[in-house]
Amino acid sequence: MDVTASSLSPRRLTRQISVGSVKVGGDAPISVQSMTTTKTADVEATLAQIYALAGAGADIVRCTCNERAAAEGLAQIIPRSPVPIVADIHFHVEMALAALEAGVHGLRLNPGNLRKPEEIRLVAREARDRGVPIRIGVNAGSLHPDIYDRFGGATPEALVESARIELAYFQEVDFDDVKISVKASSVATMIAAYRLASETFKHPLHLGVTEAGPLPGGLLKGTAGIATLLAEGIGDTLRYSLTADPVEEAKAGRQLLEALGLRERTGLDLIACPSCGRAEVDVISVATKAQEALIALDIPIQVAVMGCVVNGPGEARHADLGIAAGRRRGHLFIRGQIIRVVPEDEMVEALVDEAQRIAKEGIEARLAARDVSAEADAAADRAALLDAKGVDANNASQVIERIRRRDEH
């Protein structure tokens, strides 16, 4: 955990449960989840997607179990899966029992759909005896009608009450191996519901904005809700619910946690300036090409692409590696220190080469091997650009002066 995470609100301490080999809650790392979109009965297609999700950063994967063939598929999938598998159950108690028989590592029950108390207690007893946790998966779109009517809609209070009632059924059979979600498609409702849930329950919370939709809007909604709560110290595991390839869900979850400093970086973090009048290169083009090339390396590294050499290396001095453009040359830097200057058309190639060297040799070794004359060359480029464009490359000072003269009249 880095300084970014230490700047967030302290994480709310919850009970810890185990979903297979993955700890959830307590002081365990916040985990990333996603769900397959294949037919679970299609074992090979589902396994292929599970492996893709795991490769993209998913710690836990959920599969639907809506029919007997799906349960039989789970029995074949679970021994071959690289991550714990949770079975998604909606309407049929028989499917929950079959999924447990298949060896799932967790169940997700929707209390709005599986409503008979005796059936809920039956599943809880079976899960208890097998040591399998259950997620109480409340959804604003499928609340029990009685709760919906009592609270006048899918309010935060209604969502939490649905989870509380379900939890009471579990406790009647001495089952407490539970995590809880109170999802809504409204970001504001979702945030309020989880805040209330965090005050009501000691169980780990599974975060998500349900039915967030396709990219990019779904990604924005999911991030708005999930990141807000994580910054407040609320949440133990999460899922983006996107109308997209589920791999995008896993990527988004992992990247969010890394951006907040809540998980160690496992892949590329590319930062780039938004460009300005001083930019000496097409930043968008260079950044896009660099990202494509560097992602393929699968190296946990932060790389900066900056449009000018005047401010670029200083503004991105925290990056492991970066390049700034000026006078048709690229200033390659590590942690803000110029290590060499390369022709503009070799900028992306130089980034890729240096990233590979850093991965092999380490940052300190690469700094020790820098071109000692590079800083002098870079300083000359910066001075020449300041002479040509001035300190105020976007001419803001001239605009301000015109505004002041207008006010005087």
pLDDT at residue 279, as a whole number: 65
Domain ranges of the chain: 3-259, 269-389
Q: What proportion of the chain, given as a percentage, has pLDDT over 70?
A: 93
Rounded mean pLDDT of 28-33? 98
Between the alpha carbon of residue 47 and those of residues 81, 161, 250, 300, the distances in Å are 7, 36, 16, 26
Indicate the average pLDDT of the chain. Answer: 91
Query: What pLDDT shows up at residue 380?
Result: 83
Q: In which band, very low, low, confident or very high, does the pLDDT at 389 lie, cut at 50, 70 and 90?
A: low
Q: Which two tokens stand for residue 264?
A: 């160690």
Fold of 269-389: Sulfite Reductase Hemoprotein; domain 1 (3.30.413)
- What 375-384 contacts at long range (C-beta under 8 Å, 24+ apart), as own/partner pairs, is 375/337, 375/338, 377/329, 377/341, 378/309, 378/313, 378/331, 378/338, 378/341, 381/309, 381/326, 381/327, 381/329, 381/331, 381/341, 382/309, 382/310, 382/326, 384/327
CATH topology of domain 3-259: TIM Barrel (3.20.20)
What is the token pair recorded at 77? 């999938």
Q: What is the pLDDT of residue 201?
A: 98
Cβ atoms 233, 12 nearer than 8 A: yes
Fold agreement between 3-259 and 269-389: no
Distances (CA, A) of 373 to 323, 378, 380: 17, 9, 11
Angle ∠(374,375,376) on CA atoms, nearest 5:
90
pLDDT value, residue 7? 81
Residue 1, pLDDT score: 45
Q: Say what the pLDDT of residue 82 is.
A: 97
**pLDDT, position 347:** 92
| Paired residues of 342 in beta bridges | 330
Whole-angstrom Cα distance, residue 244 to residue 37?
Answer: 10
Q: Which of 6-20, 326-340, 355-369, 370-384 has the lowest mean pLDDT?
A: 370-384
Range of weakest confidence among 19-28, 77-86, 370-379: 370-379
| Per-residue pLDDT band at 121 (split at 50, 70, 90) | very high
Mean pLDDT of all residues in 91-105:
96
pLDDT value for 219 = 97
| pLDDT above 70 for 120 | yes
- With beta carbons less than 8 A apart as the criterion, state whether 240 and 222 touch: yes
Q: Residue 400: its pLDDT value, please?
A: 73
pLDDT at 133 over 50: yes
210/213 Cα distance (integer angstroms)? 8
- pTM here? 0.85
Q: Which residue has the higher pLDDT, 268 or 281?
A: 268
Per-residue confidence (pLDDT) for residue 4, from 0 to 100:
62
Banded pLDDT at 328 (limits 50, 70, 90): confident
Half-sphere exposure of 284 (CA within 13 A, CB side): 2
Total count of residues recorded for the chain = 409
